[in-house]
Amino acid sequence: MVNKNYNFAFLDEGSKREIRRAALKAVAIPGYQVPFGSRELPIGRGWGTGGIQLTLSLIGPDDVLKVIDQGSDESVNAENIKKFVGICTGVKTTTDTREATLIQTRHRIPEIPMTNGQILVFQVPIPEPLRIVEAREEATKKMHAEKDYAPMWLQLYESLVKYKKVTVSSEYPCMAGGRYMMNPSPIPKFDNPKLHRAECLYLFGAGREKKIYAIPPHTEVVSLAFDDVPFERESFKGKKCRLCGSENTYLDEVFDRETGGRFYQCSDTSYCREVRSWS
Amino acid sequence: MISTLSKKHNFSIVFNSQKIFRLLLEAMSNPARVVSISKYASKLVGEHPAFLAVAMTLLDNEVSFHTCKNQSLSDEILSLTLAKSEPLESADYIFVSNPKDAGYAIENAKRGTLADPHKSATIIIRNDDPPVCRLTLFGPGIEDRITVHVTQTVRDAIVMRDGQYHEYPEGIDLLFVSSMGELYAIPRLTRMEAE
């Protein structure tokens, strides 16, 4: 049921325009974090407000919206965002990746490759990849301007020296278009290769940090790695989804407290459901 | 006596703006892909409805624009959007209705800084001539390479912009719009292969 007391897509038109301008600049400069005036929403900052503001600025009556949270269409966060957008737009929602024109996601990229007409909007908690090596925004901005990413490389090197491997499991930094180091949001390393030369447009919104950035289609996105230590994503060798049997997807490890057993299942619930429907 | 007031423009600031924005986003994401905003631009009257449609979508009192001596266009954009008319060198959006002004606009538009590359101009150029040049373009948004047929205006604009040797991420983003409402984008990273 659409609540007509709200403007279409909740935000006022001035807010949408600012976000739209920022999104267009972000597309023109892949990986660069464009600042914007993040608005108040009826959701606390840190709960996906950057992604929601992008979605609300993008969405139109003809769109079909899908929202996923850690791959799941049915989680509380995903369901509530769908309800909220539905109340103030009336758009159709779906769990089918292929049917959606606009997908908002928290921490996953769908297993089904997205097409050129689709847009994936990421909810980003910390957009700045250099934050772990430099606390000051003023300093990280200068580092990006000068393409001075040595402290980040040193961080990875120290990780290798201490633990014999790079211990960053999610938010694994990458270079967009050969120029900007960017945080792909807390997606698992498993999803990083999907950013490289993708067909679809990726938009990243950080509401609390007030930044928007983007990766246009067919853009080179390379995860950081050394010549002698290549980038490696999570391996699920020998494991498969207990529900659909997939061996090539990102799997969640589930622990049964009563039996003490561990099992694995697809993180992308709609993909898992689709695979099961084939048999 | 009851008189009926009618609006000059039938453009919906909510729904038509959203449609045009999505088309602009598609154009910026896929350089040289032609999108049509004619369905929505036709809801605006005047000499440059396509310009006005882009202005209504992107401009408000937070940003500035310049129209290269086209006073009537400037007045119309000002009254519709409340954006500030500013000199070419400081304008956020530059509307070039006479392609002969494109060179000067590209030479003098703001290019942003290395720290703030988003503080650069977007130049919207009227592009109505028949296509006479074949260009091969590459860059983000283009799968490998794309060959397109463009007007002399477009070719000259890209040559002029590339000739400025902006140090990326500094740069200028170009939009070309025909009076029929056909639009495509050549963002700052789209490069032309040597002829």
Residue A156's pLDDT is 94
Contact check, Cβ <8 Å, A217/B30:
yes
pTM: 0.96
Q: Which residues of B58-93 are buried (b: 16+ CB within 10 A; e: fewer)?
A: bbbeebbbbbbebeebbebbbebbebbeeebeebbb
Residues of A with Cβ-Cβ distance to B15 under 8 angstroms: 8, 60-61
> In Å, how far is B25's CA from the nearest CA of chain A?
6
Separation in Å, CA of A215 to nearest CA in chain B: 9
CB contact under 8 A, A141 and B115: yes
Please write the tens of the pLDDT for every residue from B92-151.
Answer: 999 999 999 999 999 999 999 999 999 999 999 999 999 999 999 999 999 999 999 999
Q: How much is the pLDDT for A3?
A: 87
For B14, the token pair is 């909510």
Residue B126, exposed/middle/buried by CB under 10 A (0-12, 13-18, 19+)? Answer: buried
Among A8, A29, A217, the residue with its CB nearest the CB of B29 is A217
- The yes-or-no answer on residue A174 being catalytic is no
Per-residue pLDDT, A27 = 98
- Does B1 have pLDDT greater than 80? no
**In this predicted model, what pLDDT tens digit does every residue of B41-72 receive, in sequence order?**
999 999 999 999 999 999 999 999 999 999 99
CA A211/CA A206 separation, integer angstroms: 5
Query: What are A32's two structure tokens?
Result: 């660069």
Q: Which residues of chain A have pLDDT under 70?
A: none
> Is the CB of residue A179 less than 8 Å away from at least one CB of chain B?
yes
Q: Tell me if A29 and B188 make a contact (CB, 8 A cut-off).
A: yes
User: Which helix (H) or strand (E) is B135 found in, with range?
Assistant: strand B133-138
- Beta carbons within 10 angstroms of residue A162's beta carbon: 9
pLDDT at res. A279 = 77
ipTM value for the complex: 0.96
- In angstroms, the CA A186 to CA B101 distance is 46
Does the distance separating the beta carbons of B115 and A144 come in below 8 Å? yes
Q: A144 at the B interface (CB within 8 A)? A: yes
Q: Are strands B84-85 and B64-66 parallel, antiparallel or unpaired?
A: parallel
Task: Report phi then psi at A233, rounded to 5.
Answer: -95, 170
